[in-house]
């Protein structure tokens, strides 16, 4: 194991320091080119030189870290700027590199000067299949003081500059689709007419069509990673997920926006799902709905269970509550038809179960837990019976009794963040994860690893692997990065569900003992490895690899071991807290 770790460390540093420590060189990470056109005044020069070199930029001394890394902040003035970098070793030995920037101020928004459109936007954005009641918003930028009509009769109104602090010529309008509409697959024609009666017509980028009465409208989920989305929004980690669904769950499709189907979950609730996660049933299948049938609450040698009989596989959402701890499952399309439920005495984690019809077609199951810590649960179907499988708190809350998953972030072609010296996140996370594995194993834990070598592992494969392995908890090891390599630094942890917060928070507090700055313990984090509900998980962004000082720390194998030790200490703190009863 030690040999593997050393190999990883050698791989990290060999590229950046292939030259002799006294032989001057300048290796730039940012910028990547000698000539750069930029729109922002604040820029950074980062890279590495020889460990014993001095460095100047336009005659100003720049700090060189013991690793050879450096970072320098620029505040450009509009126009052309050039910077001469010189790395000095022994007297008479130096190299230089020149970098040039052209900083252009962003042009202020301009009005449309002729009878024309500068832009046409529709919301939701994308090709649309719509039905009665759907709203289509249209916004255009065009010549001010005109009449603007979408289709033949939908007026768009110019927004007053005094009210919105915007420029003239912004027109907006909203249309609610009616039962009598019969849109063909076509783009939206928009006509502008000036005061002299001259007109121009242009079409929207995306088309609109009615979701026809003869089109298939009942779909079923496929695969093991089908998930519903709250809405159409996206961030860099994807859309906000409601949660994963079992396969063959029936969904009522009522429209489509781009590549996402719109789903009617209940009378007042809609959601979206990517089109590659469903397949349609032939026309004629009933809308997903069911009365509830027989209930049973029981346990076996490992888990507690709640089963609810239904007549169809309906969509659902589960979430966690704390203080006191509860699992809540909403079943969409279900209606209460149950007068009692049977609870057996062989349950060990479930304290009580009750249900309520919270609104039309939303049936809520609430499971009260005996311990304050959530250890995970699963929701799936056995036939048409909904099963909620509840994981029990381990009887022996010591590391030696646990199965712990360690996920080394990135790998292979997915290099992750890069440091000023040329270090890579994929290599650093592997090195720390191997140390974490060894430390946990020395304490008697069973450790499951995503990877123990330098290779690519797709995030979907990681999720399925761990959902099958069902560890007691998972720690995903990463390094952060920022466009600002000087001022942004520190450590952070992340969790998705409130019931799993304690694990990430315990690790976070221990990481701060390394003298790292606070970057926060972040909840509702929409990262794939945090999305499973089956086990507590925490993502650790050890520090910022983009920062030269942080990079210097994580390049040191002694510090890597300290990080591994702090993560272990945080896990121990988490387990100690679990011993405290409500």
pLDDT recorded at residue 235: 75
Phi, psi of 574 (to 5 degrees): -60, -45
pLDDT recorded at residue 176: 94
CA distance 399 to 381: 33
Question: Torsion angle, CA of 156/162/168/171, rounded to 10 degrees?
Answer: -10
How buried is 577 (Cβ within 10 angstroms: 0-12 exposed, 13-18 middle, 19+ buried)? middle
Mean pLDDT of 88-115: 92
- Strand partners for 318: 329
Split at pLDDT 50, 70, 90, the class of 211 is: confident
With residue 154 as reference, give the H or E element that holds it.
Answer: strand 154-158
CA distance 27 to 47: 5
* Within this chain, domains 290-391 and 399-578 share the same CATH topology: no
CA distance 493 to 525: 10
The string of pLDDT tens digits covering residues 320-375 is 999 999 999 999 999 999 778 899 999 999 999 999 999 999 999 999 999 999 99
Q: What's the CATH number for 132-207?
A: 2.60.40
Regarding beta strands 342-343 and 295-299, do their DSSP bridges make them parallel or antiparallel, or are they unpaired? parallel
pLDDT recorded at residue 18: 43
Token pair in block for residue 198: 């001259």
* Per-residue CA distances from 75 to 44, 55, 56, 57, 106 (Å): 9, 19, 17, 13, 16
CA distance 281 to 574: 47
CA distance 279 to 276: 8
Give the neighbor-by-neighbor strand order of the sheet with 362-369.
316-321, 326-332, 362-369, 350-359
Cβ contacts of 39 within 8 Å, gap of 6 or more: 103, 104, 105, 106
Split at pLDDT 50, 70, 90, the class of 167 is: confident
pLDDT recorded at residue 238: 79
Report the top-level CATH class of 21-103.
mainly beta
Kindly report whether the peptide bond that precedes residue 333 is cis, defined as omega within 30 degrees of 0: no
Q: 218-280 belongs to which homologous superfamily?
A: SH3 Domains (2.30.30.40)
Lowest mean pLDDT, pick from 38-47, 240-249, 374-383, 573-582: 573-582
Phi, psi of 106 (to 5 degrees): -60, 135
Give the helix, strand, coil percentages of the chain, each rounded to 5.
20, 40, 40
CA distance 323 to 245: 27
pLDDT recorded at residue 1: 34
Q: Kindly list the domain boundaries of the chain, sorted by start residue.
A: 21-103, 132-207, 218-280, 290-391, 399-578
Mean pLDDT across the chain: 93
pTM over 0.85: yes
Mean pLDDT of 30-42: 96
Cβ contacts of 345 within 8 Å, gap of 6 or more: none
pLDDT above 90 covers what percent of the chain? 86
* DSSP states of 478-503: EEE--S-TTT---EEEE-SSGGGHHH
Regarding beta strands 403-408 and 446-449, do their DSSP bridges make them parallel or antiparallel, or are they unpaired? parallel
Cβ contacts of 66 within 8 Å, gap of 6 or more: 51, 552
Task: Give yes or no for residue 10 having a pLDDT over 50.
Answer: no
Question: What's domain 290-391's architecture?
Answer: Sandwich (2.60)
pLDDT recorded at residue 108: 84
Kindly report the CA angle at 150 between 149 and 155, in degrees rounded to 5?
45
Split at pLDDT 50, 70, 90, the class of 164 is: low
Question: Torsion angle, CA of 207/213/218/222, rounded to 10 degrees?
Answer: -30
Split at pLDDT 50, 70, 90, the class of 450 is: very high
Answer yes or no: CATH 3.40.630.40 is held by domain 399-578.
yes
Task: Give the closest residue to 544 by CA, choosing from 492, 579, 468, 509.
Answer: 492
* DSSP states of 418-455: B-TTS-BHHHHHHHHHHHHHHHHHHTT-EEEES-SSS-
CA distance 530 to 179: 43
Rounded to a whole number of angstroms, the CA Rg of the chain reads: 29
Cβ contacts of 294 within 8 Å, gap of 6 or more: 307, 308, 309, 338
Assess contact for 50 and 20: CB atoms under 8 A: yes
């Amino acid at each position: 194991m030690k040999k593997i770790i050393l190999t990883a460390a050698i791989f990290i540093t060999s590229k950046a320091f292939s030259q002799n420590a006294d032989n001057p060189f300048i290796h730039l990470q940012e910028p990547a080119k000698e000539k750069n056109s930029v729109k922002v005044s604040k820029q950074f020069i980062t890279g590495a030189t020889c460990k014993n070199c001095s460095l100047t930029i336009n005659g100003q001394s720049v700090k060189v870290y013991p690793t050879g890394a450096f970072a320098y902040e620029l505040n450009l003035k509009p126009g052309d700027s050039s910077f001469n970098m010189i790395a000095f070793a022994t007297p008479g030995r130096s190299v230089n590199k020149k970098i040039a920037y052209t900083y252009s101020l962003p042009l202020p928004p301009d009005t449309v000067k002729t009878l024309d459109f500068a832009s046409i936007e529709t919301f939701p954005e994308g090709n649309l299949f719509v039905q009665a009641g759907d709203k289509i918003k249209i916004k255009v930028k065009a010549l001010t003081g005109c009449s603007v009509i979408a289709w033949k009769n939908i007026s768009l109104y110019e927004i007053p500059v005094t009210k919105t602090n915007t420029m003239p010529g912004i027109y907006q309008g909203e249309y609610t689709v009616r039962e009598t509409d019969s849109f063909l697959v076509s783009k939206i024609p928009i006509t502008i007419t000036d005061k002299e009666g001259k007109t121009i017509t242009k079409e929207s980028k995306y088309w609109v069509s009615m979701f026809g009465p003869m089109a298939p409208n009942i779909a079923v989920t496929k695969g093991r990673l089908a998930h519903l989305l709250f809405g159409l929004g996206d961030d860099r980690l994807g859309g906000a997920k409601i949660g994963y669904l079992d396969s063959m769950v029936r969904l009522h499709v009522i429209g489509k926006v781009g590549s996402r189907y719109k789903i009617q979950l209940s009378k007042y609730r809609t959601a979206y799902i990517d089109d590659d996660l469903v397949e349609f049933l032939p026309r004629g299948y009933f809308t997903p709905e069911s009365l509830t049938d027989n209930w049973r609450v029981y346990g076996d040698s490992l888990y507690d269970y709640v089963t609810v009989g239904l007549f169809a596989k309906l969509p659902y959402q589960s979430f966690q509550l704390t203080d006191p701890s509860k699992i809540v499952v909403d079943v969409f399309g279900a209606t209460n038809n149950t007068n009692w439920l049977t609870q057996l005495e062989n349950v060990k984690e479930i304290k009580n179960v009750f249900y309520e019809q919270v609104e039309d077609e939303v049936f809520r199951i609430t499971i009260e837990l005996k311990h304050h810590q959530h250890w995970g649960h699963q929701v799936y179907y056995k036939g048409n019976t909904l099963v909620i499988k509840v994981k029990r708190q381990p009887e022996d809350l010591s590391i030696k009794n646990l199965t712990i998953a360690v996920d080394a972030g990135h790998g292979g072609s997915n290099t992750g963040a890069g440091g000023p010296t040329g270090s890579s996140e994929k290599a650093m996370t592997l090195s720390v994860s191997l140390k974490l594995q060894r430390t946990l194993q020395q304490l008697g834990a069973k450790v499951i690893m995503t990877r123990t070598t330098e290779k690519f592992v797709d995030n979907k494969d990681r999720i399925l692997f761990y959902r099958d392995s069902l560890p007691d908890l998972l720690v995903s090891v990463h390094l952060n990065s920022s466009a600002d390599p000087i001022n942004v630094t520190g450590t952070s942890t992340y969790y998705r569900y409130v019931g799993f917060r304690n694990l990430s928070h315990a690790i976070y507090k221990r990481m701060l003992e390394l003298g790292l700055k606070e970057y926060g313990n972040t909840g509702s984090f929409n990262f794939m490895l945090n999305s499973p509900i089956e086990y507590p998980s925490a993502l650790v962004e050890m520090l910022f690899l983009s920062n030269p000082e942080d990079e210097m720390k994580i390049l040191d194998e002694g510090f890597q071991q300290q990080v591994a030790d702090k993560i272990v200490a945080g896990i121990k703190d988490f387990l100690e807290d679990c011993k405290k009863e409500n």
